[in-house]
Amino acid sequence: MSNSGNGRLPHARDELFDVLADETRRGIIRIVSERSPAGITKVDLATELAARTTDRTPAAVRDEDRQRLLVDCHHRTLPALFEAGLLEETDDGRLVATDHWAFDDADLVAAIDGSTDDAETDLDALFEALSDTRRRTLLSVLADQHEPYSTDALARAVAASETGTTPRDVAQERLERVHSMLKHVHLPVLNDAGIIGYDAESGLVSYDDHPALCERWLADTRDRRSDATRGKALKAATAVLRSASSR
C-alpha cells in the first residue's frame, strides 16, 4: 500500500477531483478496488472494463475493444490514477488500490461507483466543478446561505477566505480579479454542474442541494492555525453576504 495519496491539501484535492471527472477512470478504480489487495493485470483490467462498457461477458470481449482500452490505460487513464495516488503497480505488474483517504469516504466511493440517489447526475461535470480550489472555497462560503446573494458580495467573501483576512481588508485589485474569474469562469462551471443557481443578468447566486455532493468534500485539511484563520474568514464572509443582501 502507498501513502502517496493521503494528502488533503488544496492541490491534492484538485488532482483527485480532476481524475474522478472521467467515467473510464472511475470504472478502472471500481474494478481495481474490487480486485485488491490481490490486484489485477492490465490485460485483465482492459478485458473487464470492455465487458462492462459493451455489456458483454469477459469471454465475449472483442480483441479490438480490449486493445483499444489497453492503449488508453497505458497512455491516459493509469498515469493519472498513479499520479493522484489512487492506484499503484506492484513489482509483478499487477494493479492495486492504495490506502488513499478517498477509499475511506463512503459517499465518495458511492459516487465513484455510480450509486447516487439521482441516476441522471452528471458525475463528470460534478467532479470537474470540484477540481478547482477557488470553486470549492466559493461553495464553502455559499453553502450555509439560504437565499441568493450578489456576485459582488460573494467575490469579496471568497477573496477574504483565500487570504485569511477580513472582507473589508481585501485589496481592490485582488477583489476585481476574483470577481472577474467568478463571473467568467467559475460561476458558469458550477451552474452547468447543477451545484449553484446563477443568473448572469442579475448577478445573483444561490446554492443548490446537489444530490451527489457532500459538503465535507469542500474542506481542505490544514494545520490548526490555517483552520482557525479560515474559520474566522468564513464567518466574516458570511456577515458580508448578509449585510450586502440587506442593503
Q: Residue 82 falls within a domain, yes or no?
A: yes
Q: Per-residue b/e over 150-176, b at no fewer than 16 CB within 10 Å?
A: bbebbbbbbbbbbeebebeebeeebbe
What is residue 164's predicted lDDT score, i.e. its pLDDT? Answer: 83
Under the banding of pLDDT at 50, 70 and 90, the label for residue 238 is low
| H/E element, 246 | helix 224-246
CB atoms within 10 A of CB 64: 9
Last residue of a domain, one of 115, 145, 170: 115
Asked if 172 and 144 sit in the same domain, the reply is yes
37 shares a domain with 101: yes
Number of domains into which the chain is organized: 2
Residue-wise pLDDT tens digits, 179-208: 999 999 999 999 999 999 999 999 999 999
Which residue in 113, 91, 108 sits closest to 39, CA to CA? 91
Does any domain span residue 102?
A: yes
My answer on whether 139 and 241 are in the same domain is: yes
Helices 151-163 and 172-181 cross at an angle (nearest 10°) of: 120
Instruction: Assess if residue 163 is contained within a domain.
Output: yes
- Cα–Cα distance between 31 and 34 in angstroms, integer? 5
**Integer Cα distance of 148 and 196 in angstroms:** 10
For the stretch 105-138, pLDDT in tens is 999 999 999 887 666 789 999 999 999 999 999 9
Same domain, 109 and 25: yes
Say how far residue 81 (Cα) sits from the centre of its chain.
Answer: 14
- Kindly state whether residues 100 and 146 are assigned to the same domain: no
- Spatial CA neighbour of 95 closest among 29, 20, 41, 34: 41
In a domain? residue 1: no
151 and 233 fall within a common domain? yes
If asked whether residues 207 and 159 sit together in one domain, one would say yes
| Pair (17, 90) in one structural domain | yes
Q: What is the CATH number of the domain that holds 30?
A: 1.10.10
Query: Given pLDDT bands bounded at 50, 70 and 90, which one contains residue 6?
Result: very low
Structural domain includes residue 4: no
Residue 175 within a domain: yes
From 62, 96, 115, give the residue that closes a domain.
115
**DSSP 3-state of 227:** helix
**What percent of the chain shows pLDDT beyond 90?**
67
Model pTM score: 0.85
Domain that holds residue 31: 10-115
Candidate from 32-46, 129-143, 180-194, 227-241 with smallest mean pLDDT: 227-241
Q: Are residues 67 and 130 in the same domain?
A: no
Name the average pLDDT for the chain.
Answer: 87
105 and 181 assigned to the same domain = no
- Averaged pLDDT for residues 228-238: 57
- The pLDDT score that the predictor gives to residue 71 is 97
> In this structure, are 83 and 141 located in the same domain?
no
| 3-state DSSP assignment of residue 205 | strand
Residue after which a domain boundary falls, among 83, 115, 147: 115
